[in-house]
Amino acid sequence: MGTFTASLVLILIGFAMFYPLLFTKIDQSIQNAKGTRRFLQLNYLLHLIAGCIGVLLLWIYNVNYPLQLSGIVYLIVIIVVVLYYWKSAIPQWNLFSASLVFGFLVFYRSFNEIVEITPLWPGIFTGILSAGAVSVVTLLIVSIFYKSNGKTPEGGLVVSLVKYLSVVIGIRLAWNIVVLFNISVETRNGELMSALMFFMQVDLLKLILLVLLGLMITILFYVLFRKYLFDKMHKYKLWIFLILFISIWIAEFLYKYFLLQYGIVL
């Protein structure tokens, strides 16, 4: 399995695991609206598609038979849960908790099998942050697109999602600073240097892209949102969110590249 495919598997499994956490918020936003049930059902489908593709890739590349079987069990669980809530409201305590548990087990085992780092917990921690960022920004773009077509309520949901995204990105930024400036890397010559200096020497272009797409664009977006998004720049809202969506997805592939290529958890 190549680096790109391995990154895709980890991102999709994480997305499928994390996305149900947002379903209750979506359901609350549409309970008093008419004709918006399809909005929630579309997000169910995104959840299922991500899980199916991730598990399918595990089987195609024959990663690990027990992991592959776990993936099949996970797919059965999420399909049953989605069908159960397809036309009914989601209560506070719901069966998506089961899909979260099974999703995390597959997510953990996928990291354990694909990523060669010790200890594993930093990879799991940043993997959950990645899953959160990808999930929230995906729901943001879906919400804005539906709103532009007059199909679903948007205001309160989008405001909440932007707050969630700012928290996730803020934690990721703090983690990156700690790793880049405080973690020492040993080169082939036995020389010790900071992770930042190491990346500047061996992969400067990808590091610049990561900082630009994963951090700078997100911070710029947040400033634009707070000041202009519901006023002067309203007509450009979809394009702003689309740029954010693309930048975060690319950044997550870069994060996984550094993890898989160098074993450094950013």
In tens, the pLDDT along 98-134 reads 899 999 999 999 999 998 888 889 889 999 999 999 9
First-to-last CA distance in the chain?
21
Mean pLDDT of all residues in the chain?
Answer: 84
User: Is the same domain home to 129 and 254?
Assistant: yes
Same domain flag for 230 and 199:
yes
160 and 256 in a common domain: yes
- Is there a single domain that holds both residue 222 and residue 133? yes
Residue linked to tokens 């709103």: 147
Shared domain for 155 and 250, answered yes or no, is: yes
Task: Please choose, from the candidates 98, 84, 85, 93, the residue with its C-alpha nearest in 3D space to the C-alpha of residue 37.
Answer: 85
Question: Among the three residues 64, 97, 114, which one is the final residue of a domain in this structure?
Answer: 114
Which residues lie below 8 Å from residue 45, measured CB to CB, with a gap of 6+? none
pTM: 0.90
User: Rounded CA gap, 139 and 231, in Å?
Assistant: 22
Alpha helices by DSSP H, listed for the chain, are 3-18, 23-30, 37-60, 65-84, 96-114, 121-148, 155-182, 195-202, 204-211, 217-227, 237-262
Both 93 and 195 in one domain: the answer is no
Q: Is 85 strand, coil or helix?
A: coil
- As a whole number of angstroms, the distance between CA 262 and CA 138 comes to 28
Q: Are 263 and 235 part of one and the same domain?
A: yes
Residue 155: predicted pLDDT: 61
Per-residue pLDDT at 160 exceeds 90 = no
- Cβ neighbors of 136 (< 8 A, separation 6 or more) are 22, 161, 164, 165, 168
Answer whether 209's CB lies under 8 Å from 248's CB.
no
Residue among 249, 256, 262 nearest 199 (CA): 262
pLDDT tens profile 70-89 = 999 999 999 999 999 998 88
pLDDT tens-digit series, residues 173-202: 888 888 888 887 776 776 778 888 888 888
Claim to verify: residue 98 and residue 127 sit in the same structural domain? no
Same domain for 190 and 264, yes or no, is yes
Q: Which of 15-24, 47-56, 205-214 has the lowest mean pLDDT?
A: 205-214
Rounded to 5 degrees, what are φ and ψ at 93? -105, 115
Residues 155 and 74 in one domain: no
Residue 49 clears pLDDT 70, i.e. is over it:
yes
Cis bond before residue 122 (omega within 30° of 0): no
**Domain end: 71, 93, 114, which one?**
114
**Is 14:131 a contact under the CB 8 Å cutoff?**
yes
Q: Are 232 and 252 contained in the same domain?
A: yes
CB 90 within 8 A of CB 97: no
Domains held by the chain: number: 2
Q: Which domain holds residue 54?
A: 1-114
Task: Please compute the mean of the pLDDT values over residues 49-56 and round it to a whole number.
Answer: 95
Q: Clarify whether residues 63 and 80 are in a common domain.
A: yes
